[in-house]
Structure 1
Amino acid sequence: MPASDVRRWPKKAILVKIEDTYGTDAAPAVADGIVAANVEFTPMEGQELQRDLIMPYLGNQGVILTGLYARLVFDVEIAGSGDAGTAPKYDALLRACGFAQTITADTSVEYEIVEDAVESASIYFMLDGVQHAMLGVQANVAPTFDITAVPRFRFTCVGLLGTISDLANMPAVTKAGWLKPVPVTKANSVMTLHGWTATGDSLSLDLGNQLTPRFPFGDEYILISDRSASGTAVVEARSLATINWFEIAKAGTLGALSFVHGTTEGNIVEITAPAVEIGRPTYGQTSNVTTYSLPLAFTPDAGLDDFKITVR
C-alpha cells in the first residue's frame, strides 16, 4: 500500500491576486482561483555560482545558489465573464502582463498597455499538499484562436520566491464564474486584417514581454524590461486581385487587425491592433486548400497600443 503522503500530479490549484505593494504577499484566496490547463512549473530558477577553489585533489566543490525565482506557465480558456462590464476571472493575470483595466458599466472591460506603474500579483501554486508562493509576479500573455482547438491564453508568470509550505487541505477551487468557451468557427469568429475580412485557420499573438529578474544589492524585483508583440495568421490563399500579401509585405505597409470571438453579450472577447506589419508570407495547405502563413509584427501607432483586449 502506498504511503499516506504520496502526492498526485493531477491535483493542482492556482490562486492569483493583485498586490497593493510590490512584492508584499496579497494572500490570494479560493475566490481568486484560476481554472488552468497545460501547467508547467519551475520552482527554482536562478544562478549557480562556481567556487573554483584550488585544492590538492579532484572533486566537485559544489555551488552557491543565488538570484532565485520561480516560473509558472499555463493556459486559460478565452471567454467572457458572463456579464458585459464585469471583469473576467483572469483579470489579475492580464493586469500583471502590463495591461491597465478600464471598466465601462454594463458594456465592456478594456485592457490597454501601460509601461509605468505596472501592477504585480501574488500567486499561490499548489501541487497536492505543497504550496509555492510567488511574489511580485510579472507576466506575458499569448492568445491563440485555432479552428482545431479550444481558444486559449498562454500565460508565462515569473515571480520572486515566497514561502514553500505544506498544506492541510487543497483549496476548494471550482469552475463557478468561468464561462465555457465557444469554438473558433464562422458563426463565432470574425477577423479583418488590412481591410480584408479573412477566411482562415488560426490566429496566434504574443505580447512579447521580456520578463527580467533583477537582484541588485538593496532590492529584488521582476521587471518587464522590453516588449515586442508578434504573431502569425494562417489564412486561405485568395487571388492577388483580392488581397496581395506579397506586395503588402514588400512595401512594409501597416494595417489594422480585429479579431472578434463570440456573439453573446457577456461572452465576447475582441483583440484589436492599429498598425500590423506583414512579414514574408509562406505557403501551406489544409485539406489540400492552399493557405498563407503570415508573420505579424504588432507595431505601436500612437504608443502603448500594440494591441488591446476587450471583454464585453
Structure 2
Amino acid sequence: MSDDEISMNTAVLFNQLEATYGVSPGAMTASQAVKVKSLTAVPLTGNRVERDVVTPYYGANPGKLTAKRGTMQFTVEATGAGETALDAGTAPAFGRLLRQAGTSETVRAPAATIAASPPTGVGGPTGTFTYAAGDPYEGIVDRLVTLLCTTGGGSGTAEFTVSAPAIAHLAAYEATEQVMTDATDFDLVHGATITPTVGTAFEVGDSYTIQLSAPGAYYAPVSQTFESGESFFQYGPNRHRFAGQRGNVTINAAADGYFDLQFDFMGLPRARSSEAIPAVDFIAFQDPLIVDDDNSPYVALGGVEINLRSFSLNVGQNTVMRSLVGQKKVRTSGRSASGTIVFEALDLDDVDFFDNLDDGSTLAFELIHGLLRGEIVHLTCPLLEITGLQYQDEEGVAMFSANVTALPSDAGNDELTLAIK
C-alpha cells in the first residue's frame, strides 16, 4: 500500500451523454475530460432507514441506505467553441453538460444562416425573384435585411439599397446601388451573399426582407425528454462513477470575473475502483475572456443599456431521486428560474424600474460577451420579472440590486436562451 497522501488538487472529471438512461455508452477517452473549477462531490448518500428493533438495552438502531445517489458540483467557464468548431457546426465542449441540466441543444451550422428562398415581400411588391444561399452569414446576432428597389428593371438592371437596422451594439448598415443579376453573387451584410434568379421585373419601391441568423449552438430549457449522462471523478487513485446523471445549472457573469456555468448534478452510484490518473485532453475548451467593458460589448435591461456589476440566474431544475420497486432514476420534476442582477442606478426620469416591480410587467434582458465569431456567449431572457429592487452602495456609487424571475411565454420553454457562437 502506498503511503502517499491523496491530493485534492489532482482531481479529474470525465463525462459523456447516455443514449439509454443509466446504461454506459462505453469507455471514455481523454477528449471526454471536462475542464472544471471548484469540483466537490459526495460519492454516496441516501435516505437511512433504521430497523427500529426492540432491545433490552439502550442504544442506536442499525439501518441501511435507500434511494442511493451521488452528487457533484463544479464550475465550467462559458466560452465560444472557437471559429473552427463554429464553421464545422460543432457544439462547445461543455454543451453535453447543459443537455444533462435540462436544456435542448440546437446547432445552427453556417450553411443554415440565410432564410430559405423566396424572400418575404413587403407591401405587395411587383417584382419577383428566388435565390440560392451563397456565402454564409458571419454575424454574431440575428439580423433582418431589407432590399429596397431604387432602379426598376430585370436582371442586370434593377438596383437595390440593402439595409439592416442597428441592433444591440451594432450600428445600422446600408449599401446602395447594388445591381441584381441572375447567377451572380448579391451581397447582403456581414459576408452573406445570395445567388438570385429574377422572375417578374422590379419597380421602384419594391421591398423585400431576408432573415439572417447567426451560426452557433443554442441552449433552451425543456419540459420533457430529459437527457442523462455518465461521469466519473477521481481524487488521486480513487475513482467514483455515476450513471443516469441529471441536474441543474446556474449562470453567473460578474464584472472583472469570468462567465461561469455552475453545475449541480445527481446520479446513480456505480462501481468504485482504484485507478491511475488518466490522460486528459482539454483542447476543445477555449480560454475564457474576462467579463468587462473591453470584452462584453452589450448588456441591456428592457432595451436600456446598463452598467452591470453582476448577473446570476439559477435555471431552477428540480432534480429528485425516484426510487421504486422496478425503477430507480434521477428525475427532473419541475423548473423555476430566478436570480439577481446588480447594476448602476439610473435616473428615474430616464427609466423607472420600480414601475415594473409595481405592476409586474416584464423586461427583456440581454448580455453579449465576446467580440468575434467563435468567442461569443450570448444570453437572452425575453420576459424577466423584477420581484425585488433596492439601492446599495458601491464605493459611493448608487447601485440597483434586483431579484428577478425568468418567465416563459405562452409557447413555453423559452424563458432563456444561451447561445454559444
Mapping of 1:196-275 within 5 angstroms?
196-275=304-383
SS in 2 for 1:220: strand
**C-alpha distance in 2 between matches for 1:103 and 1:119:** 16
Deviation at 1:148, TM superposition (A): 3.5
Partner Cα separation in structure 2 for residue 6 and residue 187 of structure 1: 44
Contiguous gaps of at least 5 residues in structure 2: 111-214
* Map of 1:75 onto structure 2: 75
TM-score (structure 1 length as normaliser): 0.96
1:103 to 79, 96, 107: 107
**Given the alignment of the two structures, is residue 37 of structure 1 paired with residue 43 of structure 2, yes or no?**
no
**2:178 matched to 1:179?**
no
In 2, the alpha carbon distance for the partners of 1:285 and 1:45 equals: 42
1:188 alignment partner in structure 2:
295
Out of 193-202 and 213-222, give the one that drifted further.
193-202
Which residues of 2 match residues 123-202 of structure 1 at below 5 A? 123-167=231-275, 169-189=276-296, 190-202=298-310
Contact 1:284 1:291 in 2 (8 A): yes
Aligned equivalent of 2:20: 21
Q: The residue matched to 2:355 in structure 1 has which SS?
A: helix
- Partners of 1:34 and 1:159 in 2: how far apart? 17
Matches within 5 A, 1:45-84: 45-83=45-83, 84=86
The C-alpha deviation readout for 1:39-79, integer Å capped at 9, x for no partner, is: 11011121001112111111222211111100000010111
Distance 2:346 2:383 in 1: 22
User: What is the distance in 1 between the residues matched to 2:342 and 2:108?
Assistant: 33
Choose from 81, 97, 110 the match for 1:93.
97
Distance in 1, matches of 2:317 and 2:103, equals 11
Whether the 8 Å contact between 2:256 and 2:292 is mirrored in structure 1 is: no
Larger Rg: 2
- Per-residue deviation at 1:3? 4.0
Cα deviation 1:276-303 (Å, max 9, x = unaligned): 1011201112221110111110010120
Amino acid at match of 1:202: S
Deviation by residue 1:142-180 (Cα, 9 ceiling, x = unmatched)? 11111142221100010011111111x211114312111
Partner secondary structure for residue 31 of structure 1: helix
Letter of the structure 1 residue corresponding to residue 77 of structure 2: E
SS at match of 1:247: helix
Separation in structure 2 between the aligned mates of residue 192 and residue 239 of structure 1, nearest angstrom = 15
The residue aligned with 1:10 is 9
SS of residue in 2 equivalent to 1:94: helix
Secondary structure at the counterpart of residue 98 of structure 2: helix
Superposed CA deviations along residues 216-238 of structure 1, whole A, max 9, x for unmatched, are 11100001101000111101001
User: Counterparts of 1:63 and 1:244 in 2: how far apart (Å)?
Assistant: 58
Moved beyond 4 Å, runs of 4+: none
Instruction: Report the aligned-residue RMSD.
Output: 1.4
Matched residues, number: 310
- Counterpart residue identity of residue 87, structure 1: A
Partners of 1:252 and 1:262 in 2: CA distance = 32
How far residue 5 of structure 1 moved from its aligned partner, in angstroms, is 4.7
Q: Which residue of 1 aligns with 2:406?
A: 298
1:163-221 CA distance string (max 9 Å, x none): 11111x21111431211111111122221111211112111111000111110111000
**Amino acid of the structure 1 residue aligned with 2:11:** K
- Quote the Cα distance in structure 1 between the aligned partners of 2:295 and 2:216: 18
TM-score by length of 2: 0.72
Give the percent of matched residue pairs that are identical in Structure 1 and Structure 2. 28
- 8 A contact 2:230–2:242 mirrored in 1: yes
Q: Quote the offset at 1:30 in angstroms.
A: 1.6
Quote the Cα distance in structure 1 between the aligned partners of 2:65 and 2:331: 21
Q: Is the 8 Å Cα contact of residues 93 and 139 (structure 1) preserved in structure 2?
A: no
Query: What CA distance in whole angstroms lies between the structure 2 residues aligned with 1:66 and 1:131?
Result: 22
Secondary structure of the residue aligned to 1:279 is strand
Instruction: Give the deviation of 1:29 after TM superposition.
Output: 2.4
| Paired AA for residue 36 in structure 1 | V
CA contact (8 A) 2:45 2:65 kept: no
Give 2:300's aligned amino acid: T
